[in-house]
């Protein structure tokens, strides 16, 4: 692999390499390690920025190598308008997050570990959005769940952090299993394992009888990852993580992975009644739930977290609509949200870091002490509020253009968008204005402007949102048009500008602003109303999660107590019952019973004598008065089998049987003698009968199985193989010995290990018995 492909592979590996060196670098440089570590995502950003010209021209860049060619499994990447946008957001915002974490966690004893976790997450997210292979998408999908678990639970000494991390892992990891099943079904339906090839199978997938199954499985993965109702509860709880995590995972990257998946699948699975019903319905409901829950919060991070839930719902709703304007609106809002929400999360963390509190009701008058932070917050809020000429305004105008209409469906979803956007408008300015305006309020720490490491990120993100809005034509050509084209599957040009255009979209935008201003001015009353509404509802998914986990623990405990009571008798009985069922049920279901055996008319006397001896041995076992006699009599069967091997020309096999049978009898007899178990079975008949039935069923099952095997056509492939290669490969003339020692050497070693472990276990039991006697 050379040239661009080699550099691209290196770009995907760089964050993981950085994760390895981050702890050592932090030990040397302290919090200033953020500067060299930030060069890693910045280098990744510059590399992928080089693909912009090709992608803007409509080309798709693929690369990689085959991993398991026989199963068409590859490590490959697909870079188009959708994946490139995510790659640039992840690496670009990631650069600022690394710098921000350097200042935010200054002096923290585990700062190096944090850098390592955040870089591992970054690498996982880069791999997720660029994966062309189904398998690699799933691998990186689960890696993001694992690394986010480490980041959310970074402050592991706090129970709330541990609970939030575990909750996020269970919800998103469980959704990953749905995704895996959906990808396997897609593979089965289309016989392809790469998204670049899947794009041409849209008609086949939509016409498949498995379409709904694939859709529900994919939605299970996407909805859990992107916190759609009723799985939205894990995202706000994840605010227990340090603010750099909140700003990165839960605004610009991980929570949009589900949205990314839906956008990637839109050309293949979109434009169906199910797609255009389920996605808008759940997306609209999530938008309303998230925005209402955001209003009732007083913690700055929770206010932003719930608006993130609402924004993700809006993106899912737009993706489900699927029209040209809806796709363009989703593309615009995807980028705008990443910029203004990342900036506002950093502002919230900066306020907390410099004042000691995030409670908006206990903050005020910070504009003089923190002027740079105030400016960044205000600019980001203007974009989030959808005011011109910010990029958020373009997104909001396109949203209303896409949704507005005269039918009931359009009115319902337009109303949801107006209400949701208005409430998010109020929250945005509550975060940007409440802490900074008014009279100064005493805070736990003396408020002052943070260091450059803390404010450089929010300032750059906020200003970028303004710059893209002003230079929207260039932004559309380089970013949003290729992004919209990749989502829709056909070439699409986004043309909306920052200049307001008179029409329904502008009127709806003005209505949104008016409602938002009214809610902002009456924020306390709105918060009280939302509180009463939630209290009246009472039960919620978050409480339901705890109830489900407690129920699962209780159920698991009962199952474990039932299946693992600590009694060997129950374990052995269950084992032999399963063996009997496995042997007898399949032939009963499929009718594949063996033919009745035919007694040979000319059986030699010595063979008949061996058979009679075996029958007498069975009678001796059944009539034995104590267990020791039964064990010795049981050895008769093994010796009779060895005699048959000897009579039919297999002396090596007969010798092995003799040795194994002798050792088994000796060891068991020794154990019985030392343990002094009950010499006779004193159980009543009602307890003996079930054991007898199970024993007869197992014996009958094995007999029928062996009859069926011997009556089938003998396949000489292995015989021919060993006869051909025993001499030439293993250099042995005795085929049986060669098989045991060479071809099955590892298996033989395992058998020896089993015998050794069994002997040690018996020795331990004997010593325990001796110790108790002493």
State the chain's mean pLDDT as an integer.
89
Integer CA distances (angstroms), 388 to 53, 404, 512, 757, in order: 28, 20, 14, 77
Report residue 79: phi and psi, to 5°. -115, 105
Q: Is the model's pLDDT at 428 over the cut of 90?
A: yes
Q: For the packed helices 408-433 and 504-521, what is the interaxial angle rounded to 10 degrees?
A: 40
Would you say 606 and 647 are in contact if contact means Cβ atoms under 8 Å apart?
yes
Q: Is the model's pLDDT at 68 over the cut of 80?
A: no
For residues 668 and 673, what is the distance between their CA atoms, to the nearest angstrom? 9
Q: What is the mean pLDDT of residues 462-487?
A: 94
Q: Pick the residue with more confidence: 568 or 43?
A: 43
Would you say 348 and 308 are in contact if contact means Cβ atoms under 8 Å apart?
no
Percent over 70 (pLDDT), the chain: 97
Q: What is the mean pLDDT of residues 376-393?
A: 94
Q: Pick the residue with more confidence: 534 or 39?
A: 39
Residue 675 pLDDT? 60
Q: Is the model's pLDDT at 724 over the cut of 90?
A: no
Residue 286 pLDDT? 96
Tokens 């050379």, residue located = 2
Would you say 435 and 363 are in contact if contact means Cβ atoms under 8 Å apart?
yes
Q: Is the model's pLDDT at 347 over the cut of 50?
A: yes
Q: What is the pTM of this model?
A: 0.82
Tokens of 29: 């440089």
Q: Is the model's pLDDT at 464 over the cut of 90?
A: yes
Most confident of 54-68, 81-95, 708-722: 81-95
Residue 738 pLDDT? 84
Lowest mean pLDDT among 299-313, 411-425, 651-665: 651-665
User: pLDDT for 4-44, tens place per residue?
Assistant: 788 888 899 999 999 999 999 999 999 999 999 999 999 99
Report residue 411: phi and psi, to 5°. -65, -40
Which residues does residue 79 pair with via DSSP β-bridges, in sequence order?
61
Would you say 732 and 738 are in contact if contact means Cβ atoms under 8 Å apart?
yes
Q: Is the model's pLDDT at 1 over the cut of 60?
A: no
Integer CA distances (angstroms), 527 to 145, 419, 736, 761, in order: 33, 15, 83, 67
Q: Is the model's pLDDT at 75 over the cut of 70?
A: yes
Helix or strand (DSSP H, E) at 79: strand 73-79
Q: Which of 287, 297, 301 is nearest to 247 (CA)?
A: 301
Tokens of 527: 């918060």
User: pLDDT for 393-421, tens place per residue?
Assistant: 999 999 999 998 888 999 999 999 999 99
Half-sphere exposure of residue 520: CA atoms within 13 angstroms, side-chain side:
21
Lowest mean pLDDT among 176-190, 361-375, 474-488, 733-747: 733-747
Integer CA distances (angstroms), 88 to 47, 130, 381, in order: 9, 11, 22
Q: What is the mean pLDDT of residues 60-68?
A: 84
Q: Which of 115, 125, 159, 160 is nearest to 145 (CA)?
A: 125
Q: What SS3 state is found at 67? A: strand
Lowest mean pLDDT among 34-43, 279-288, 608-617: 608-617
User: pLDDT for 658-685, tens place per residue?
Assistant: 888 888 888 777 776 666 555 556 678 7
Q: Which of 74, 290, 92, 312 is nearest to 193 (CA)?
A: 74
Q: Which of 298, 222, 683, 740 is nearest to 528 (CA)?
A: 298
Would you say 215 and 187 are in contact if contact means Cβ atoms under 8 Å apart?
no
Q: What is the mean pLDDT of residues 370-398?
A: 94
Would you say 149 and 165 are in contact if contact means Cβ atoms under 8 Å apart?
yes
Tokens of 435: 């802490």
Q: What SS3 state is found at 537? A: helix
Q: Which of 604, 607, 617 is nearest to 646 (CA)?
A: 607
Percent over 90 (pLDDT), the chain: 61
Q: Is the model's pLDDT at 771 over the cut of 70?
A: no
Integer CA distances (angstroms), 11 to 8, 195, 300, in order: 5, 21, 35
Q: Is the model's pLDDT at 772 over the cut of 70?
A: no
Q: What is the mean pLDDT of residues 69-76?
A: 77
For residues 262 and 316, what is the distance between their CA atoms, to the nearest angstrom? 8
Please, which pLDDT band fits residue 644 given cuts at 50, 70 and 90?
confident
Q: What SS3 state is found at 62? A: strand
Please, which pLDDT band fits residue 2 given cuts at 50, 70 and 90?
very low
The H-assigned helical ranges of 191-255 are 195-198, 202-207, 211-225, 234-237, 243-249
Q: What is the mean pLDDT of residues 341-354?
A: 94
- Number of Cβ within 10 Å of residue 166's Cβ equals 15
Lowest mean pLDDT among 463-467, 539-543, 650-654: 650-654
For residues 666 and 762, what is the distance between their CA atoms, to the nearest angstrom? 12
Residue 680 pLDDT? 59
Residue 593 pLDDT? 85
What is the DSSP track for 705-720? HHHHHHHSPPP-HHHH
Tokens of 59: 């080309």
For residues 602 and 774, what is the distance between their CA atoms, to the nearest angstrom? 61
Question: 764: burial class by Cβ within 10 Å (0-12, 13-18, 19+)?
Answer: exposed
């Amino acid at each position: 692999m050379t040239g661009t492909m080699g550099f691209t592979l290196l770009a995907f590996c760089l964050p993981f390499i950085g994760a390895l060196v981050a702890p050592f670098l932090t030990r040397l440089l302290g919090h200033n390690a953020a500067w060299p570590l930030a060069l890693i995502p910045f280098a990744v950003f510059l590399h992928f920025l080089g693909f912009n010209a090709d992608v803007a021209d409509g080309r798709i860049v693929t690369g990689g190598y085959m991993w398991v060619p026989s199963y068409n499994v590859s490590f490959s990447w697909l870079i188009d308008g959708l994946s490139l946008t995510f790659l640039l957001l992840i690496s670009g915002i990631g650069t600022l997050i690394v710098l921000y974490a350097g200042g935010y966690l200054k002096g923290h004893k585990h700062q190096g570990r944090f850098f390592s976790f955040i870089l591992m997450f970054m690498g996982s997210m880069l791999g997720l959005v660029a994966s062309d292979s189904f398998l690699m998408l799933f691998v990186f999908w689960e890696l993001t769940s694992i690394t986010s678990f480490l980041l959310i639970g970074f402050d592991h000494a706090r129970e709330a952090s541990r609970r939030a991390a575990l909750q996020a892992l269970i919800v998103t990891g469980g959704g990953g299993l749905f995704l895996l099943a959906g990808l396997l079904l897609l593979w089965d339906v289309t016989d392809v394992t790469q998204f670049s090839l899947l794009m041409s199978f849209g008609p086949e997938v939509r016409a498949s009888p498995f379409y709904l199954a694939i859709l529900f499985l994919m939605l299970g993965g996407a909805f859990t990852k992107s916190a759609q109702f009723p799985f939205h509860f894990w995202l706000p709880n994840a605010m227990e993580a340090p603010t750099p995590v909140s700003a990165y995972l839960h605004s610009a990257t991980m929570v949009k992975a589900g949205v990314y998946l839906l956008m990637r699948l839109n050309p293949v699975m979109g434009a169906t009644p199910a797609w255009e019903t389920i996605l808008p319905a759940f997306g609209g409901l999530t938008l309303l739930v998230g925005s209402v829950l955001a209003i009732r919060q007083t913690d700055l991070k929770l206010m932003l977290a719930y608006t993130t839930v609402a924004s993700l719902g809006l993106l899912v709703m737009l993706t489900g609509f699927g029209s040209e304007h809806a796709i363009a609106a989703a593309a615009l809002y995807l980028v705008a949200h990443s910029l203004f929400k990342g900036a506002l999360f950093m502002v919230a963390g900066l306020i907390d870091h410099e004042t000691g509190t995030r409670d908006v009701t206990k903050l005020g008058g910070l504009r003089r002490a923190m002027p740079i932070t105030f400016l960044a917050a205000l600019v980001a809020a203007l974009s989030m509020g959808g005011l011109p000429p910010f990029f958020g305004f373009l997104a909001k105008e396109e949203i209303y253009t896409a949704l507005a209409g005269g039918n009931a469906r359009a009115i319902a979803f337009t109303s949801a968008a107006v209400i949701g956007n208005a409430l998010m408008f109020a929250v945005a300015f509550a975060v940007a204005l409440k802490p900074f305006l008014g009279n100064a309020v005493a805070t736990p720490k003396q408020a002052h402007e943070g260091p450059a490491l803390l404010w450089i990120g929010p300032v750059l993100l906020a200003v970028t949102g303004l710059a893209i809005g002003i230079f929207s034509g260039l932004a559309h050509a380089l970013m949003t048009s290729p992004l919209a084209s990749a989502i829709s599957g056909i070439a699409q040009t986004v043309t909306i500008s920052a200049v307001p255009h008179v029409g329904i979209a502008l009127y709806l935008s003005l209505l949104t602003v008016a409602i938002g201003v009214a809610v902002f001015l009456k924020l306390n009353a709105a918060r009280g109303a939302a509180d009463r509404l939630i209290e009246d509802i009472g039960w919620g998914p978050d409480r339901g999660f705890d109830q489900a986990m407690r129920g699962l623990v209780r159920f698991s405990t009962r199952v474990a107590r039932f299946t693992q009571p600590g009694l060997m008798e129950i374990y052995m009985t269950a084992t032999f019952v399963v063996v009997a069922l496995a042997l007898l049920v399949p032939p009963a279901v499929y009718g594949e019973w063996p033919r009745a055996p035919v007694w040979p008319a000319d059986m030699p006397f010595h063979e008949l004598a061996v058979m009679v001896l075996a029958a007498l041995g069975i009678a001796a076992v059944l009539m034995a008065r104590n267990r020791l006699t039964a064990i010795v009599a049981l050895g008769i069967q093994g010796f009779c089998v060895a005699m048959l091997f000897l009579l039919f020309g297999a002396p090596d096999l007969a010798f092995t049987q003799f040795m194994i049978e002798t050792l088994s009898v000796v060891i068991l007899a020794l154990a019985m003698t030392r343990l002094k178990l009950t010499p006779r079975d004193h159980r009543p008949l009602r307890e003996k009968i079930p054991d007898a039935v199970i024993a007869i069923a197992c014996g009958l099952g094995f007999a029928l199985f062996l009859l069926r095997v011997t009556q089938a056509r003998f396949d000489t492939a292995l015989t021919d193989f060993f006869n051909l290669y025993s001499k030439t490969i293993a250099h042995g003339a005795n085929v049986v010995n060669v098989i045991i020692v060479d071809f099955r050497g590892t298996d033989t070693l395992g058998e020896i290990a089993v015998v050794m472990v069994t002997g040690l276990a018996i020795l331990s039991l004997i010593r325990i018995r001796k110790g108790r006697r002493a």
